[in-house]
Structure 1
Amino acid sequence: MTIRLRGHHLLCLLGYRGMGYSDDFCTNMTIIYETLRTSPHTEVEIVIGPDDVCKAYPPDKAYHCEGTVYGLDAAVLAKLGLSANERDSWQSICSRVAATMVPEDISRLCTTCPWEKYGVCSEGVGLVVNGQPLPKVGS
């Protein structure tokens, strides 16, 4: 199984705690998150543009998957030393996060994200940096 992810979703997944745009979106995001959390050897393919998370974005909301997030994707990939079409395990991507990031990077990279204010992504980066596991959704 390969999960296709765009740059900024690599960090969103670290902070995912069950919040999202709709029930369908949360169901999809929870499946992806729990797959990666419980099977860290799962292969991730880095993509440009809409990915496996975007496919469940609610049709009644303003669709941003093709908009301003491309710059954030590029910034995250540059920070992690990753590029489009690269494939690696989730565990290896988390190791890159641990080696290249600090929790405060989220507030610098994700200034336009509506979820940044909750602090969950910074918390997730902190867990990875400290070698701690990501929590089960809902715990």
Structure 2
Amino acid sequence: MSAIYETLRQEPYTAIKLIEGPDDVCAAFPSDQPSHCENASVYRKDREILQQVGLKPGLQLSWQAICDQVARQVKPHDIATLCSDCIWQPFGLCEEGVAHIRESGSLRELPEAR
């Protein structure tokens, strides 16, 4: 997941195809752990987030265009509703990410691993 993130951060004009169902991030999920990518809640969240952002599956556009759309359509507090049943939501990382995209139009640099 970090490799995908860094590619998008460093090359924001990378073409992205929006799909329904498991994607390249899911493909990187560790095989020794149960995957959640096929859960109905993931499909629901994907649909709701795409609707909030104003995009549809099947579209292909640059990562930068997606960030621009997120900056226009999503507010940090929207994450609490859109992702209310996500185990990561209470940590606030997505709210911070949306705030950063709204402010800078890009992904923030990841801290170096120690």
Give the TM-score, by structure 2 length. Answer: 0.91
Could you list the per-position Cα deviations for residues 92-121 of structure 1 after superposition, in whole angstroms to 9, with x for gaps in the alignment? 000000100110011110011111111111
The verdict on how the C-alpha distance between 1:99 and 1:138 changes in structure 2, with shifts beyond 3 A counting, is same
Kindly provide the amino acid, as one letter, of the partner of residue 51 in structure 2.
A
Q: 1:105 aligns with which of 72, 78, 89?
A: 78
Bigger RCO (CA 8 Å, 6+ sep)? 1
Superposed CA RMSD in Å reads 1.3
Q: Distance in 2 between matches of 1:55 and 1:99?
A: 29
Which residue of structure 2 lines up, in the alignment, with residue 122 of structure 1? Answer: 95
Q: Distance in 1 between matches of 2:11 and 2:2?
A: 13
Deviant stretches of 4+, over 4 Å: none
Q: 1:65 aligns with which of 12, 37, 58?
A: 37
Matched ranges for 1:71-82 at <5 A: 71-82=44-55
Structure 2: gaps of 5 or more residues = none
CA contact (8 A) 2:100 2:107 kept: yes
Kindly provide the amino acid, as one letter, of the partner of residue 94 in structure 2.
C
Alignment: residue pair count: 111
Kindly provide the amino acid, as one letter, of the partner of residue 86 in structure 1.
L
Which residue of structure 2 lines up, in the alignment, with residue 3 of structure 1? Answer: none
Kindly provide the amino acid, as one letter, of the partner of residue 54 in structure 2.
G
CA contact (8 A) 2:15 2:63 kept: yes
Give the TM-score, by structure 1 length. Answer: 0.75
The verdict on how the C-alpha distance between 1:132 and 1:87 changes in structure 2, with shifts beyond 3 A counting, is closer
Provide the identity percentage: 42
Q: Distance in 2 between matches of 1:132 and 1:92?
A: 10
